[in-house]
Amino acid sequence: MNKVLESADIAVNDIADGATLMIGGFGLCGVPDDLIEALVRKCPKHLSTIANNMGVDGRAMGLMLTAGMVDSHTGSYVGENKLLESMVLQGQLKLTLLPQGTLAESIRAGGAGIPAYFTPAGVGTMVAEGKEVREFGGRQYLMERALTADFALVKAWKGDRLGNLVYRKTARNFNPMMATAARITIAEVEELVEPGELDGDQIMTPGVYVKRMIVAQPREKVIERRTSRKRAT
């Protein structure tokens, strides 16, 4: 079995107009940049995207906005994107905001075959509008529905050709759940290793969830907010 494809362009070639896509990452951390850039080259339109953020202007998913590929987006925080702001205000893009834990759990549920679940997040707020509220143990909870997608584009640190994945530090974020919740999951890995090199106890996404893989082009990791301490001299 070998899930590794030659290029990101081949990996995204069948993503067509109107597809629903999950894209991993938190801010610019743990984002499948090569796959996004290949998708922008192919440029399918009328996409529905599910991702915590929407990149920043001119970077990551921000590139998809510039190319006019996205009709609707579901996420939890989109504060770093002026283009998205103007598109939402002009009615060019339908934005659905969910509490971040609800977004994560809805994707997890989608991958685990659970159609809906109850959470306390958002009770009594705008998020509750149109949703069933039920009381358990004297407390109110909202019914939230699972999320699934046609494709998930995820970013991992190491992977083998069987599709087993390991993530690095906080670049894990939404990637493992998204890998489980799409019909076709495409993983972009920084380093391809031989089957057996990854310790089975440490594998975070078992290969069954991953249909295709590519090896990322070497690139410097972008830091959104560089914060540091000055060294004593």
Partner 1 sequence: MDVREIIARRAAKEMRDGYYVNLGIGIPTMVSNYVPEDMEVTLQSENGMLGVGPYPWEGDEDGDLINAGKETVTEVQGTSFFSSADSFAMIRGGHIDLSILGAMEVDKDGNLANWMVPGKMVKGMGGAMDLVASAKHLIVAMEHTTRDGQPKILNHCSLPLTGLRVVNTIITELAVIRVTPEGLRLEELMPGVTAEHVQSLTQPRLIFPPGFGAKLQ
Residue from 18, 58, 68, 124 in contact with partner 1 (CB under 8 A): 124
Q: For residue 199, which of 177, 173, 166, 176 has the smallest C-alpha distance?
A: 166
Three state DSSP letters for 117-128: EEECCCCCCHHH
CB nearer to partner 1: give 103 or 186.
Answer: 103
Residue from 8, 19, 26, 188 in contact with partner 1 (CB under 8 A): 26
CB of 16 to partner 1, least distance (A): 28
135 lies in the site for partner 1, by CB under 8 A? no
Q: For residue 62, which of 33, 92, 91, 100 has the smallest C-alpha distance?
A: 33
What sign for the dihedral angle of Cα 195, 110, 60, 167? negative
If phi > 0 it is left, if psi is from -120 to 50 it is alpha, else beta; for residue 96 that is: beta
Residue from 55, 62, 99, 207 in contact with partner 1 (CB under 8 A): 99
CB of 220 to partner 1, least distance (A): 8
Residues near partner 1 (CB under 8 A): 26-30, 52, 75-79, 85, 88-89, 95, 97, 99-105, 107-108, 119-127, 157, 167-177, 221-231
